[in-house]
Amino acid sequence: MVGFDQTTTAERRRAFRALHEGPAILVLPNAWDVISARVYEDAGFPAVATSSAGLANSLGYADGNVLDIELHLATLERIVHALDVPLSADIESGYAPDTASLGQFVRRLAQTGVAGYNLEDGLYESEIFPIEQAAERVAAAKEAAPDVFLNARTDIYLAHIGSPAKRFEATVERLRAYAKAGADGVFVPGIADAETIRRIAASVALPLNVLAGPTIPDAAALQRLGVRRVSVGSSVMRRTLGVLREIAHELRDSGTFSFTREPSVSYADANALLERRG
């Protein structure tokens, strides 16, 4: 990998950490390649994240810990070098079933220049690590790159693990264990109702990250509930694919070009987004 200026990296990591301390909630948009990240930066966001699903899909892989590691790291490095704001990476569960391999991967991840990352507590869609093992993984990852913001994610709600009546207590138990293990923030995708969000935010001292969705409160309301960070995951990428599919169907079915009259980024503006970017 190409080396990255260590002073710039340290500054970005400090800036990213400070964004979790307010006063405003951090709305963190998720990109899937260089130009989508640049669109977000150009719109004025102070930091950008990647979507594991979006990035994997854009590179020809399904989501779910199957993306080629070398390709993932190389893509992250390209995005970091294209931005002037911090980048946080979604690395799923770190492509590692054991703590030694996880630590090795996180050390390589840090070399890309990212300011933070999400670490999931599961390997499969409906399977998560036992809480003791998951906490050990958080500790190993933190030790591998102490200055990179570690956002520890639990998928209890997202994957519908356990009985609904016990999910809150199980989630809080995990978040506290991850905090004790050294996490800098915690992420609970899959929660949408205000009362659950409020209770979880009040139950852990670390900044809480939630995932945007069709029924979740808006950013201002989330901030009032105690949320410090909200991300959008792969939803923007999938909405973009939805527009592309509509265009494909128009071309196939009617041979018309109405999409060329819709709002878009101009040829010149698209190129301008990537000037000076290698």
In the chain the domains, ranked by start, together with CATH numbers, are: 6-211+218-273 (3.20.20.60)
Residue 222 and residue 230 in contact, taking contact as beta carbons nearer than 8 Å:
yes
Distance CA 20, CA 251 (A): 45
Reference 178, options 98, 96, 119, 97; nearest CA is 119
For 113-139, write each residue's pLDDT tens digit. Answer: 999 999 999 876 668 999 999 999 999
For 133-192, write each residue's pLDDT tens digit. Answer: 999 999 999 999 999 999 999 999 999 999 999 999 999 999 999 999 999 999 999 999
Res. 2 pLDDT band, cuts 50 70 90: very low
For 42-92, write each residue's pLDDT tens digit. Answer: 999 999 999 999 999 999 999 989 999 999 999 999 999 999 999 999 999
State the pLDDT at residue 129.
95
Res. 5 pLDDT band, cuts 50 70 90: low
What 3-state DSSP class applies to 186? strand
Res. 277 pLDDT band, cuts 50 70 90: low
State the pLDDT at residue 193.
96
State the pLDDT at residue 180.
98
State the pLDDT at residue 3.
47
pTM (whole model) above 0.85: yes
State the pLDDT at residue 22.
84
pLDDT over 90 for what percent of the chain?
A: 92
State the pLDDT at residue 127.
85
pLDDT over 70 for what percent of the chain?
A: 96
Mean pLDDT of 239-258: 98
Query: Across the chain, which distance is largest between two alpha carbons, in Å?
Result: 59
Reference 88, options 219, 202, 200, 184; nearest CA is 184
Mean pLDDT of 192-201: 98
Distance CA 273, CA 269 (A): 6
Beta strands 127-128; 87-90: pairing state: unpaired
